[in-house]
Amino acid sequence: MLSKETIENYFLLLQDEICRGLETEDGKGKFLEDLWNRPEGGGGRTRIIAGGNVIEKGGVNFSAVSGPCPDFLKKEAGITENAMFYATGVSLVIHPVSPMVPIIHMNVRYLKAGNLEWFGGGIDLTPHYIFEEDAKFFHNHLKEACDKHNPLYYPEFKKWADDYFFITHRNETRGIGGIFFDRLTAQDSITIEDRFNFVKAVGNSFLPAYLPLIEKNKNKAYTEANKQWQLLRRGRYVEFNLVYDRGTKFGLLTNGRTESILMSLPPTACWEYIHQPENGSEEEKTLLLLKKGIDWTE
């Protein structure tokens, strides 16, 4: 039987591994750790990095929290009686210095509400400038991780990511997507241990999928105009996280730790009234690729 301790220990080790890998690649920035406790039960390790050679701001967070099920969670899980919940996972967002290096987000989590338990999560890439070669590398890496467990996972979870990471009021995707999944329960011949092994594969794919993109793009030259575009794209990122992101809502509605929840926001961002990129520019090319249904594995 899969225990909470086994799941927590993996997430703690994953946080350690990712932080070491990012610090090594950055070469300057170091993660600062903030240990915290939640009055209702549990706590976590928030780790923040800032002012690095590559990473302007980032966070890699671990949490394991518990308490009475809030009403919205009981409704989502179909629970009518009073019940307890337990949630643990790792969540991260990296905002790079260079506009040529993409933003990345990953979340892998386990949640138990009453007698129900499931895994969820995902990983997605938000380039300020979309380089098609990089998008193909990223998606093929995720497809390989998925295919080792179930060939149906990648197409299903890729579509789920396209639909989830979509800024409806802008009619554009947040970036080039990735994979997203939720409510992965034990069903038919698939055990909860099988689901856990898949989630571990997703977590372990982070460094191999992201570090090569940093290495490839971190030394590219860029202009002040490129930096201004980066700020505009960060603004879109903020809009999604504050309006649509379920993890943000879950944290705030369960009396989560506000600083840890909002660490996903960039250090700076901007909004311009009806900004229109020049025809034929790299900025316009990026906007034209912010749409659902692109097969980046071809």
Burial of 3 (0-12, 13-18, 19+ CB in 10 A): exposed
pLDDT of residue 1: 79
pLDDT of residue 293: 97
CATH superfamily of 4-288: Coproporphyrinogen III oxidase, aerobic (3.40.1500.10)
pLDDT of residue 230: 98
Q: What is the pTM of this model?
A: 0.95
pLDDT of residue 59: 97
How many other CB atoms are found less than 10 A from the CB of residue 298? 7
pLDDT of residue 255: 74
Compute the distance between CA of residue 142 and CA of residue 38 in angstroms, rounded to an integer. 34
Low-confidence ranges of the chain (pLDDT < 50): none
Closest C-alpha among 171, 173, 152 to residue 162: 173
pLDDT of residue 40: 87
Tell me the two tokens of residue 142. Answer: 């995720």
Domain ranges of the chain: 4-288
pLDDT of residue 52: 98
Question: Which active-site residues does the annotation give?
Answer: 105
